[in-house]
Amino acid sequence: MPKEVAIIGVGYAGFRALTPEVSYKEFMYEAAVKAYEDAGVDPRRDIESFVTVAEDFTEGTSIFDEYVPDQLGAVLKPVHTISGEGLHGFIAAYLQILTGAMDIVAVEAHSKASNILTPDEIMAFAMDPVYNRPLRANPHFIAGLEMNRYLCETGATREQCALVVAKNKHNALYNPLAAYGASIAVEDVLESEMVSYPLSRLDMSPRADGAIVMVLAARERAEELSDIPIWIRGVGWCNDSFSLENRDWTNAIYAARAAEMAYRMAGIRTPWQELDFAEIDDTFSYKELQHMEALRLCRPGEAGLLVEDGATEIGGEFPVNPSGGSLGMGHLLDASGLARLLEVVLQLRGEAGQHQLPDVETGLAFGWRGLPTTSGAAVILSN
């Protein structure tokens, strides 16, 4: 039985399409100040280690690790960068506390997507240079291929995917943090510009700027510092084959394995019953369905039917992405998973305002690193 660790503070800035008034440092500072205030800690004195999440080409700076300590209060302290999903960074912080060497650790992730002028070219730069890049296709073709295969094998439809978009953007209207809340209809999605068949423009979550900081603490400190610590029940993460030629185009195996690890740690056997809600990566509309199935919330092919029935609405039996997900809040690049986790924390604390779910005790957050990766991580929390 691993040590008990809780989230005792969260802070955030954004999320908006543009944030021209602040540099990334000032953005991170804002989220950090709020998180430390929420946790009741002084980073210079109390926080023993810091984990940030960043990729050089997302920031436009090599060795971005250099530029993080000052705005997090981490100067001359243990700091390291995880080049991965925000949830990987969160898990790295959790692992450090589990070792017993540290009691309080902070994690940060952010997106300044608005500062990237050539996002698709940079995404293409992540593809295998010998086998895939020379095809010179916009990398979204990978999502198109996967969506097509997924729909074909599971019987899910473009309409069901469009319902996910409508649901999430509608949820976002009730979330003051969200950048892209809207009332749209299924037809709007089906008729939107085709990007890479069958993936249309509205099937894709638009990018946003945002910064999130969380503070984790081991049980004794957590109980001292927080009135409502949110406990980590399980974590899991997994990479599948990076190669396009070798991957499974229907099933998100990385998600299935990550979830399996997290469920095992949390002692969960029937997720649909034992979890109250979930925040699941919806970078693309079909991903929410594919991930729901991989996370064993339902059987393959059933996710689309559940969305149709309204089961995953805020008022439904098992709300999925009550925050609005990336489709409604905006995609925060590698910080997206941490945005999913943020919502789980707020819901479990009863701080979700207008879109608060009633009587929730346990929630799951799942993040995916996006194209062209098969990398994901899951975290289960309870109050």
Partner 1 sequence: MTAKIKEFPGVGLRESDFTERKVLFTEWKPDARYAWDAGIAIGRYLAALKEGRIIGVRCHHCRRTVVPPRIFCEWCFRPMDEWVYLEDHGVVNTFSICYVRWDMERLEEPLIPAVIEIAGASKGMGILHLLGEVDPQEVKIGMKVKAVWKPAAERIGAITDIRYFKPIK
Partner 2 sequence: MGLRKVAVVGAGMTKFVRRAQETGKELAYEAAKMALDSCELTLDDVDGVALGTAPDAFDGVHMKGEYLSDGAGAWRKPFMRSYVGGGTGVFAPIQGWYHVASGLFDVCLVVCEEKMSSCQPHPQGAFLTIFDHTTERPLGPNLLWIFALEMNRYMQTYGLQKKDIALVSVKNKRNAADHPCALLGDPNITVEDVLNSEVLAWPVQRLDVSPVTDGAVALVLAAENVAKRITDKPVWIKGVGWSLDTAYWTNRDLYYPKYVEYAARMAYEMAGIREPRKEIHIVEPYDPFDYKELHHLEGLLLADKGEAPRLTAEGVTARTGNMPVCPSGGLLGVGNPIAAAGLMKVAEIFWQLRGEAGKRQVPGKPITGLAQAWGDLMQVGTVIILGIGG
199: left (phi over 0), alpha (psi -120 to 50) or beta: beta
Return the number of the residue (124 or 214) whose C-beta is nearest partner 2: 124
Question: What is the b/e burial string over 172-192, where b = at least 16 CB atoms within 10 angstroms of the residue's CB?
Answer: bbbbebbbbbbeeeeebbbeb
Q: How far is CA 215 from the centre of its chain?
A: 17
List the one residue from 40, 69, 206, 316 that touches partner 2 (CB under 8 A): 69
4, 16, 22, 373: residue in contact with partner 1 (rule CB under 8 A): 22
Is the sign of the CA dihedral 233, 81, 208, 292 positive or negative?
negative
CA angle (202, 89, 74) in 5-degree steps:
120
Which residue in the set 88, 110, 112, 287 belongs to the binding site for partner 1 (CB under 8 A)? 112
Is residue 239 within the footprint of partner 2 (CB under 8 A)? yes
Taking CA atoms, 248 is separated from 7, 47, 367, in Å, by: 35, 42, 18
Could you say which of 12, 15, 29, 141 contacts partner 1 (CB under 8 A)?
Answer: 29
Which residue type sits at 33?
A: V
Residue from 4, 16, 40, 57 binding partner 1 (CB under 8 A): 57
Applying CB under 8 A, among 116, 215, 298, 346 the residue interacting with partner 1 is 116
Cβ proximity to partner 1: between 164 and 212 the closer is 212
Cα(86)–Cα(89) distance, integer angstroms: 5
- Contact between 15 and partner 1 by CB under 8 A: the answer reads no
For residue 80, what are its two tokens? 């390291």
What mask, x for binding partner 1 by CB under 8 A, covers residues 188 to 217?
Answer: ------------------------------
With H, G, I as helix, E, B as strand and everything else as coil, classify residue 351: coil
Q: Which of residues 93-132 bind partner 2 (CB under 8 A)?
A: 94-96, 98-101, 122-123, 125-126, 128-130
- Give which of partner 1, partner 2, none residue 242 binds (C-beta under 5 to 8 Å, depending on kind): partner 2
| Beta carbon nearer to partner 1, 88 or 207 | 207
Among 61, 134, 138, 267, binds partner 2 (CB under 8 A): 61
Nearer to partner 1, 69 or 316 (CB): 69
| Nearest approach, Cβ of residue 70 and partner 1 (Å) | 4
Please answer whether residues 104 and 75 qualify as being in contact, where contact means their C-beta atoms are separated by less than 8 angstroms: no
Reading the block at residue 123, the tokens are 């995404």
CA distance 213 to 317: 31
Rounded Cα distance between 11 and 31, Å, is 5
Closest to partner 1 by CB, 125 or 197: 125
Contacts of 200 (CB under 8 A, 6+ apart): 189, 190, 192, 193, 194
Nearer to partner 2, 36 or 318 (CB): 36
State the CB neighbour count (10 A cutoff) for residue 4: 17
The site that binds partner 2 (CB under 8 A) totals a number of residues, namely 61
Q: What is the dihedral of CA 291, 292, 294, 299, to 10 degrees?
A: -140
Q: Which of 3, 44, 201, 299 binds partner 1 (CB under 8 A)?
A: 44
Nearest in space to 99 (alpha carbons), one of 216, 212, 7, 9:
216
**CB nearer partner 2, residue 106 or residue 238:** 238
**Considering the rule CB under 8 A, would residue 70 count as an interface residue with partner 1?**
yes
Footprint on this chain of partner 1 (rule: CB under 8 A): 19-27, 29, 42-44, 57, 60, 69-71, 73, 75, 112, 114-118, 121-122, 125, 129-130, 133-134
Residues in contact with partner 2 by the rule CB under 8 A: 2, 55-58, 60-63, 65-70, 74-84, 88, 91-92, 94-96, 98-101, 122-123, 125-126, 128-130, 236-243, 253-254, 257-258, 261, 265, 369, 372-373, 375
